């Protein structure tokens, strides 16, 4: 960085451009997420779509899952066709158009589904490539400042996530759902304005694809895209023609597809030759344990914008320090606690060093998220006699954040450590598939409410997470041996 050059807290000024863009994009994402489930479940009399809570939960789960899945093709498109810079811009435009579509005040659900589809596609282009551009603002050898820059960049996510539910929830109160969706559109528009206006500070970062497609490859891509789109349209049309198509059943199909793709990928990795060494195969087996653990964690953790949001609306006294709040505002508790405790946990992991292993961190995360749902079970039991204090949800989110800060920061790190050399890039995408698996399956757990009481529902999921955490602790020693690139004992083969 040249002497006297304008900086952003000691970092390249381009970071300020990306910081602002990410903050507003996250504002739009978390703003929509904070009201989506309650909008879907609201009756048409209250300007909603009239879904059951179980179906609304499934839709929100699948929606979140698709957001993570499309990050994989989004990164590929930037690397081979658009370049990161254009991919971010195109993604932002699609997201803004998606929110605008949802803000159209008509009773037809067409614009809602169109809007959600545009947001999914746009986020796939924008989200992964923002991080790529942040990393490229720094010279290759400047690891220390790059890490600090990412820490500052991630703060923008939580700032947007904190304010969005408060603002959008207030605007959407009184069945003004489309006004809330409009606020999300305005947020993305502000992010795009910031991005274009500050583009000159990016110093050419991401302007060109890293590995541009050849003309022949481009024609092949267009053919595959056209055939894939046609197959999807024909398949859905044929299903609709049978009279058996419903949104609820579609969420089940998408969830099964996500699970099948996940199983197929790991089978392909382990059963094919791929010139993997024996140690690499064993490390992949160890990684599957952590992948399953992460999926279970996200299955519970990402019920915040659906199951816990419904609980906030229906069973809590929405008052903090004597101030009335909206149900959506409870979604701000999580990012607030993250901003408070990130420095604490960062210092804690440095102090503990290698004395606490990755399996132990994952196990602790599972147990804490399980304990949070034990608390939810108690709150739900008390709510049977009336509304409970919103402080129960504050406690739940506080406990869950302890789990997230134990699992999420180390997930990508352990993925790169355990990935076979030939699959480093692909395995980073696989880590995000754990989010997709967790979100989609978590969305389907709402069906348990048909046969279980509210407290029992939370206890079943709590026991699942706690048992999984205990199992990880039991096998920590074995997993540590494998992850240290030594052969596993016979019983683990």
Rounded to the nearest 10°, the torsion over CA 288, 307, 311, 39 is: 150
- Do 367 and 470 meet the contact criterion of CB atoms below 8 Å apart? yes
Query: So what's the pLDDT on residue 312?
Result: 95
CA–CA distance, 479 with 486 (Å, rounded to integer):
10
Nearest Cα neighbor of 308 from 366, 371, 394, 406 is 394
What's the CA angle centered on 241, arms 240 and 247, to 5 degrees?
15
For the residues of 140-202, what is the DSSP string, one character each? Answer: TT-HHHHHHHHHHHHHHHHHHHHHHHHHHHHHHTTT-HHHHHHHHHHHHHHHHHHHHHTGGGG
Q: Residue 458 — left, alpha, or beta (φ > 0 → left; ψ -120 to 50 → alpha)?
A: alpha
Residue stretches of the chain with pLDDT short of 70? 1-10, 140-148, 151, 206, 210, 422, 424-426, 484-493
CA–CA distance, 379 with 393 (Å, rounded to integer):
9
Mean pLDDT of the chain: 86
CA–CA distance, 95 with 87 (Å, rounded to integer):
12
Q: In the structure encoding, which two tokens stand for residue 342, read together? A: 């990130």
DSSP-derived secondary structure letter, 492: G
- Do 166 and 33 meet the contact criterion of CB atoms below 8 Å apart? no
Query: So what's the pLDDT on residue 69?
Result: 87
3-state DSSP call for residue 8?
strand
Nearest Cα neighbor of 426 from 71, 91, 88 is 71
């Amino acid at each position: 960085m040249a002497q006297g050059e304008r900086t952003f807290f000691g970092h390249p000024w381009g970071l300020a451009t990306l910081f602002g863009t990410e903050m507003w994009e996250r504002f739009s994402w978390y703003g929509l997420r904070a009201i989506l489930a309650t909008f879907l479940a609201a009756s048409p009399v209250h300007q909603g779509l009239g879904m059951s809570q179980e179906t609304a939960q499934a839709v929100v789960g699948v929606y979140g899952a698709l957001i993570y899945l499309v990050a994989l093709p989004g990164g590929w498109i930037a690397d081979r066709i658009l370049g990161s810079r254009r991919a971010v811009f195109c993604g932002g435009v699609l997201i803004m158009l998606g929110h605008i579509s949802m803000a159209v005040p008509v009773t037809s659900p067409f614009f809602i589904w169109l809007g959600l589809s545009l947001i999914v596609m746009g986020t796939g282009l924008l989200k992964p490539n923002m991080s790529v551009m942040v990393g490229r603002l720094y010279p290759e050898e400047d690891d220390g400042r790059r890490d600090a820059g990412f820490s500052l960049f991630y703060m923008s996510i939580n700032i947007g996530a904190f304010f969005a539910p408060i603002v959008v929830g207030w605007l959407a109160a009184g069945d003004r759902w489309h006004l809330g969706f409009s606020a999300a559109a305005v947020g993305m528009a502000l992010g795009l304005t910031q991005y274009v206006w500050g583009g000159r500070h990016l110093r050419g970062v991401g302007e060109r694809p890293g590995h541009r497609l050849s003309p022949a490859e481009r024609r092949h891509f267009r053919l595959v895209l056209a055939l894939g789109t046609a197959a999807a349209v024909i398949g859905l049309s044929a299903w609709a023609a049978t009279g058996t198509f419903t949104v609820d059943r579609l969420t089940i199909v998408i969830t099964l597809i996500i699970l099948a793709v996940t199983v197929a990928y790991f089978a392909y990795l382990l059963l094919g030759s791929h010139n993997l060494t024996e140690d690499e195969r064993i490390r992949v087996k160890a990684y599957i344990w952590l992948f399953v653990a992460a999926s279970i964690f996200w299955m519970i953790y990402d019920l915040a914008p659906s199951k816990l949001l419904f609980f906030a609306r229906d069973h809590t006294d929405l008052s903090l320090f004597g101030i009335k709040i909206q149900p959506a505002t409870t979604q701000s508790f999580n990012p607030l606690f993250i901003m408070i405790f990130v420095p604490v946990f960062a210092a804690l992991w440095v102090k503990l060093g290698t004395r606490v292993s990755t399996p132990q961190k994952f196990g602790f995360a599972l147990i804490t998220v399980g304990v949070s749902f034990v608390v939810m079970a108690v709150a739900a039991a008390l709510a049977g006699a009336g509304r409970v204090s919103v402080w129960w949800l504050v406690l739940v989110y506080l406990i869950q954040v302890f789990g997230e800060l134990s699992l999420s920061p180390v997930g990508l790190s352990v993925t790169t450590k355990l990935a076979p050399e030939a699959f480093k890039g692909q395995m980073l995408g696989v880590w995000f598939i754990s989010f997709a698996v967790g979100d989609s399956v978590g969305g389907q757990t709402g069906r348990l409410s048909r046969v279980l009481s509210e407290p029992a529902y939370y206890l079943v999921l709590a026991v699942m997470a706690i048992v999984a955490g205990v199992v990880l602790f039991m096998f920590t020693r074995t997993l540590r041996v494998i992850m240290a690139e030594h052969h596993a004992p016979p019983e683990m083969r």
